[in-house]
A and B are shown apart, each in its own frame.
Chain A
Amino acid sequence: MDSLYQEHILDHYKHPRNKREMDDADVVQRGKNVSCGDDLTWYVKWEEKGGSQRVADVSFSGYGCALSQSGASMLSLVLKGKTKEEVAALTREDMLALFHADIGHMREKCALLPLSTIKELLKQ
């Protein structure tokens, strides 16, 4: 039944990677899905490397459903070391692919919150 709640998604939900507040972040961005109560904050520290800005460290805090929270955990692993341009180039499909599952359209907003919030962060 619960192909949506596979082992790796539950693992990231129960044991999130990079879930902590970061006091010395360069940028902080909060994103919310008001209708479901998902609330996510990204913290990013940039470093200058090879002429471009890269993610030196990234973390998140917040609460929400298994999709938004495991999605943030999985995306945080993807983000480390990426340049600003690479982060900007991440697509909806890239984000959904992390789940290895068919996210119904009713839950897409939850699954995409980590990506939409990090895109907001880039605008700062």
Chain B
Amino acid sequence: MRFSITKIQEDFPQLKGGSEHYLDSQATSLTPRSVIDAQDAYYLKARANTHRAIFKEAALATDLYEDARTKIANFIGAKREEVILTGGATESSNMLVRMLDETPAFWGSGKREIVTSVMEHHASLVPLQQLAKRKGCMLSHIPLSPGSVRLDVKSVEGLISDETAIVSVMLASNVTGTINPISEIAKVAHRHGAFVVVDATAAIGHIPMHVDDLGADALFFSGHKILGPTGVGVLWVRKEMLEKLQPAVFGGHMISEVTKDDATWGDIPDRFEPGTKNIGGVIGLGAAVDYLNAVGLTEIHRHVSALTKSAIEALDALPGVHVVAERDTELNIGDVSFVCDFAHPHDVAEILGRNGVAVRPGHHCALPYHVELGIAATTRVSFYLYNDEDDVRGLVEAVKKVRALFAD
């Protein structure tokens, strides 16, 4: 399929009637009609709980749900039984940490360190901090290269040792958009027998991605950032490991046998999916993956990179505006954060919003990264496949209005 921006824009109902320039896709993406339809189809024709029941809607619901799992697995180059469906990235991250925590064998032979980065989202960082406290582990952080928004990858050699249990690094930053060289970091981690966790939430759906190429052992993301419904997420864990991990959440469907006093666990991935899931949401996410595949991730990245480049150049040209973003736009998933000498990010975002430009101010759940960058807060612009050059123009015009208002 050729990349046609007009055709794509027609697929997203909220582009008509929503903010004129939706530049907040890194917070959550818009939804194409096909995803809404897929979700509707479940509620209109297949509403039943999944698994076990044998009446026709239940069979249909189960098929749709499991088909979506297969699509998601293919999307990231995984096996379907490695894909655990969750409520979102935050839930996935917490669940994974608990699964590792509850598996004594994982902590064998003196593994007592956790390595992450200063760039992480709180959804990944805070559960690791809590884990480190519970286990009495040392938590260390890959720093930034001086004067750069990027991680100092050379420092990894010194941070990871044979005592490192977990190395957890995000695939791309949700603030500066910078894509991290995960496979390089994973090589060092694996040389020391460490388990590699990747928060792919910001990057997925923006660049082609394959769990084997990354060298990941576990990876997670949310469906709502890639055109899917809210309330659905994915936790992927490599099969050899998943089979050894203890479940962290218990209940129905996950068991093999239950007596009055004990229980044994079912197969993977059921073992990690207790209770009734967001069935309609998962089906919607399957449709989102179909949509992204049809457009093509390489095409999406090319389109978004061009907009990112335009925006960085246009903002650079405005006096008093400072871009805080990955400037090699090949290595940027589509985020351009910036600060203004003349106005606070909240005021910038407010005035932009009043001018139909939807952006987000604040620390974007990455406080340590902002501290490292020496800024309290930024205004973040994020592009996705349905944006175009008119959005860049709208952005720049609105930032000029902010300057006019606040200039002395």
List residues of chain A with CB under 8 Å of any chain B CB: 1-2, 4-5, 10, 13-14, 34-39, 63-67, 69, 107, 110
Nearest Cβ on chain A to B302's Cβ, whole angstroms: 34
Establish whether residues B405 and A107, one from each chain, have CB atoms under 8 Å apart when the complex forms: no
Establish whether residues B363 and A10, one from each chain, have CB atoms under 8 Å apart when the complex forms: no
Establish whether residues B355 and A107, one from each chain, have CB atoms under 8 Å apart when the complex forms: no
Q: Interface code B350-373, partner A: CB below 8 Å = 1, 0 otherwise?
A: 110011000001110001000000
Establish whether residues B376 and A37, one from each chain, have CB atoms under 8 Å apart when the complex forms: yes
Count A-B pairs with CB separation below 8 Å: 54
Q: Does B344 contact A (CB under 8 A)?
A: yes
Q: Which of A4, A37, A63, A69 has the most CB of B within 10 A?
A: A37
Name A35's contact: one of B347, B351, B363 (CB within 8 Å): B363
By a CB distance below 8 angstroms, the chain B residues around A4 are 350, 354
List residues of chain B with CB under 8 Å of any chain A CB: 343-347, 350-351, 354-355, 361-363, 367, 376-377, 405-406, 408
By a CB distance below 8 angstroms, the chain A residues around B408 are 14
Complex Cα spacing A34 to B367, Å:
9
Nearest Cβ on chain A to B261's Cβ, whole angstroms: 46
Nearest Cβ on chain B to A62's Cβ, whole angstroms: 11
Complex Cα spacing A10 to B408, Å:
10
Name B346's contact: one of A1, A2, A110 (CB within 8 Å): A110
By a CB distance below 8 angstroms, the chain A residues around B377 are 36-37
Contacts A34-B363, A63-B344 aside, 18 further interface pairs with beta carbons under 8 A come to A4-B354, A10-B405, A13-B406, A36-B346, A36-B361, A36-B362, A37-B344, A37-B362, A37-B376, A38-B346, A65-B344, A65-B345, A65-B346, A65-B347, A66-B343, A66-B346, A66-B406, A69-B344
Establish whether residues B354 and A2, one from each chain, have CB atoms under 8 Å apart when the complex forms: yes
Nearest Cβ on chain A to B172's Cβ, whole angstroms: 23
Identify 11 residue pairs between A and B in the complex whose beta-carbon atoms are under 8 Å apart, listed by A's number.
Answer: A1-B354, A2-B354, A2-B405, A5-B351, A36-B345, A37-B376, A37-B377, A39-B376, A64-B346, A65-B345, A107-B350
Q: A35-B363, A39-B376 are in contact. Are A5 and B346 (CB under 8 A)?
A: no
Establish whether residues A5 and B344, one from each chain, have CB atoms under 8 Å apart when the complex forms: no
Establish whether residues B351 and A2, one from each chain, have CB atoms under 8 Å apart when the complex forms: yes
Closest B residue, CB atoms, query A110:
B346
Establish whether residues A37 and B363, one from each chain, have CB atoms under 8 Å apart when the complex forms: yes
By a CB distance below 8 angstroms, the chain B residues around A34 are 363, 367
Complex Cα spacing A110 to B408, Å:
22
